[in-house]
Structure 1
Amino acid sequence: MRIERSLAVALLGAAGLLLAAPAPARAADTVEASLILNWIAGGDHAPYYYAKQEGWYEAAGLDLDIEQGKGSQLAAQRVGIGSNELGLADMGVVLIAKGEGAEVVAIMNVYANTPQGFYWLKSSGIEGPKDFPGKKIGNPPGDAARAMFPAFAQAVGIEADSVQWINVQANAKLSALKAGSIDVTTSFYNIHHIFQAQLGDDMGFVSWAEVGVNPYGNSLIANAEFLEENPEAVRAFVEVTQKAFAHCVEEPEACVAALVAANTGLKQDNELQNWELVTELMSNEHSRTVGLGHFEEARMTDDYALVDQYFEIKNPFEVESAYTNEFIDTSIKMPD
């Protein structure tokens, strides 16, 4: 699926004034907040840096600090204890963390589709997941893809214990695949272009979403106490961020340029490809018809059941307490 860059007229009407006008003076009652990312900054984080560069957060009364992350688990934990007021983390990880006592509430979805995917070499004889039995799948120990593989296996009609898992660090997966020490590996779709560049026409790929295993991916979260005490600050954060994501779908080059300017070592072309893939992960029927960033109740219920089945939520809770759509502007949608 390829996302068109032009946004719907309704989106432009709702967001146009904020996006086109210069940032007004800083609000008198400014709230300080820090946003911890799920990982080190990359193309998928461009909207936060663009909105900060343009002064949109400041104009909305937020003094926002963006902090590099080291995984969704750390982000959920730090937001849960209030070390960071806001964060970005995989929704499944958020549900696990909440079951362990983290005081978090998801306030906006970013990845409407799971970024999880499998990669292999066609020259190995593998044509698809039906050929995975007896093969070696390499990824880091403790990786979510391992724990949830039984759900994938059931969806494609193979036995969950029919594959051999090999411990491979994240930055060695591609080289291990090319060297033949593993037959299959896992990766997030927003770096699909890197696999494609390295493997070319020999690249085999299947996304989890294609086979019907599609839990929500990265989502924005807030510390529950901060949310209760500063609802308008959270509202402002979501409002600006939602419009920033919409703007970056329409004007990706400028947004990625802001990311690159703020983070030494990033390259415009590479992060632009990353961002283009992110727009695919952001788009599904719900985000196109109901609202960009809006959580679907039935999917959240299903995700809770899926996570509980494969990770066992330590202290069960009502899934409705883990997220809110209160701050989402439903006039802002992903384009068709």
Structure 2
Amino acid sequence: MTGRRPLITGLVPLLLLTATACGDDAATSVSDSGRRLDRVTLTLNWYPYGEHAPFYYGERRKIFEKHGIDLTIRAGQGSQKTVQLTGAGETDFGWADTPALLAGAETGVPVKSLGVFLQTTPSSVQFFASRNITRPADLKGMTIAGTAGDALSRTFPVFLERNGLSGSDVTVQNTDPAGKIAAVISGRTDGLLGYASDQAPIMAHKSGKKVGTLRFSEHGLNFYSNGLIAGERLLSGRKEVARRMVRAVSESFAAARRKPAEAVAAMAGASGQLPPAKVLREQLATTLTLLHTPATRGKAPGVNTEADWQRTIDLFSRSGLVTEPGPVTEYWERGSALKG
């Protein structure tokens, strides 16, 4: 890809409307100690759940303040929407799935990753343990709830192929994301495509049954997942803020890893739709197993490698999510990234 496609039409008015949203007066505040802070907004990929505990913990522990940031966290409505809002300048930073970032870049959304934190994908097939599914081959003949066009559904055929199955061996029933758990509980489907760090603990809580998972990463298929993103306009005008934001997020994840119970407690009151504390703890525990690949093990959360990025781009090029793949630098803002 020699250059980005023109920005999708629906975002142009948003860019014009928000062009002055980050002026100096509106973008700063003063802490209780008298320190001048940069106000920033972070829009999540979804309503708050356990994966997001590090942000709330970092805020409570004043880690963001330490890095000169006055953070406001907003709920999201899916990674695709968060990518669009970030590219349009409607939010300073986003927390979104890397496949959604790649798809956005493909259509010209001016947004880049500042670092992927969930470097082992939580993508999985989820089902009740009573079905005795222990390997991908056991899925043959089953019906699985998925959402047409999303990253999970696009990579599922590759997952099947890597494990000796074809797309025709498993039926994927198109289901709204919010309805997938209900489809499994009601028996309309045998399982669902979802994140091990999200739906699995919720489904176990709602059903009172033990839930099993087949993680893509444990069966031959891994790719970058959720990470911190920013629009190119912010990166061109407030790059130092972006650098400090990356460091604050990394430190917050490291702090949550040391004290996960405290991190979950920091989420109290974050949303009227917040899962129960037990579910949040399980979600965060799973999230903390996803922070590294073999290439980044032992490094700070959020440190990426070009080789890991390239593998992710290659996979989604193969699955059709990206039709004109560009170089890694097309998607990853290395200048604001953490050093390995």
CA distance in 1, matches of 2:83, 2:321: 17
Per the TM alignment, residue 173 of structure 1 is displaced from its structure 2 partner at its CA by 2.7
Query: Partner residue of 2:157?
Result: 150
Counterparts of 1:1-336 in structure 2, within 5 Å, are 25-28=33-36, 30-121=37-128, 123-124=130-131, 126-191=133-198, 192-197=200-205, 198=207, 200=209, 203-266=211-274, 267-313=276-322, 315-330=324-339
TM-superposed deviation, 1:250: 0.5
Q: CA deviation at 1:264?
A: 3.9
The structure that is helix-richer by fraction is: 1
Separation in 2 of the partners of 1:54 and 1:122? 38
Where 1:288 maps in the other structure, the secondary structure is coil
Distance in 2 separating the partners of 1:234 and 1:301? 23
Question: Any unmatched runs of 5+ in structure 2?
Answer: 1-30
Tell me if structure 2 keeps the 8 A contact 1:137–1:185. Answer: yes
Classify the secondary structure of the residue corresponding to 2:77: coil
Give yes or no for contact 1:53–1:258 (8 Å, CA) kept in 2: yes
What is the CA-CA distance between 1:242 and the residue it aligns to? 0.7
TM-score by length of 2: 0.82
Count residues with an aligned counterpart.
307
Contact 1:290–1:330 (CA under 8 A) maintained in structure 2: no
Structure 2 SS opposite 1:286 = coil
Distance 1:204 1:54, change over 3 A: closer
RCO (CA 8 Å, sep 6+): is it higher in 1 or 2?
1
Q: Secondary structure at the match of 1:39?
A: coil
Following the alignment from structure 1 to structure 2, what is the Cα–Cα distance between the partners of residues 275 and 26?
Answer: 34
Is the contact between residue 295 and residue 325 of structure 1 (CA under 8 Å) also seen in structure 2?
no
Residue equivalent to 1:9: none
State the AA in 2 paired with 1:63: D
1:265 Cα deviation after fit: 5.0
Provide closer, same or farther for how the CA distance between residues 26 and 296 of structure 1 changes in structure 2, counting only shifts above 3 A. Answer: farther
Code of the residue aligned with 1:237 in structure 2: it is: M
The one-letter code sitting in structure 1 at the alignment partner of 2:222 is N
Q: Is the 8 A contact 1:94 1:104 kept in 2?
A: yes
Q: Normalising by the residue count of structure 1, what TM-score does the alignment of the two structures yield?
A: 0.83
Q: Is the 2:87–2:231 Cα contact (8 Å) retained in structure 1?
A: yes
Confirm or deny: 8 A CA contact 1:133 1:159 kept in the other structure: no
Give the CA deviation at 1:25.
Answer: 3.0
1:327 Cα deviation after fit: 4.3
Distance apart, 1:313 and its partner CA: 2.5
Say whether the 8 Å CA contact 1:96–1:314 is kept in structure 2.
Answer: no
CA distance in 2: counterparts of 1:54 and 1:125, whole angstroms:
43
Unaligned runs of 5+ in 1: 1-22, 332-336
Q: Which residue number in structure 2 is paired with residue 18 of structure 1?
A: none
Alpha-carbon distance change, 160 to 107 in structure 1, aligned in 2, over 3 angstroms: same
> How far is the alpha carbon of 1:106 from its aligned partner?
0.8
State the distance in 1 between where 2:316 and 2:329 align.
15
Q: Give the direction of change, closer, same or farther, for the CA distance of 1:61–1:72 in structure 2 (3 Å limit).
A: same
1 CA distance for matches of 2:54 and 2:132?
A: 41
Structure 2 Cα separation of the partners of residues 80 and 134 of structure 1: 41
1:26–1:61 CA contact under 8 A, matched in 2: no
Q: Structure 1 residues 316, 26: CA separation in 2 closer, same or farther (over 3 Å shift)?
A: farther
Percent of aligned pairs sharing the same letter: 26
- Whole-angstrom distance in 1 between the partners of 2:225 and 2:84: 17
Counterparts in 2 of 1:53 and 1:99: CA distance versus 1, 3 Å? same
Q: What SS is found at the alignment partner of 2:296?
A: helix
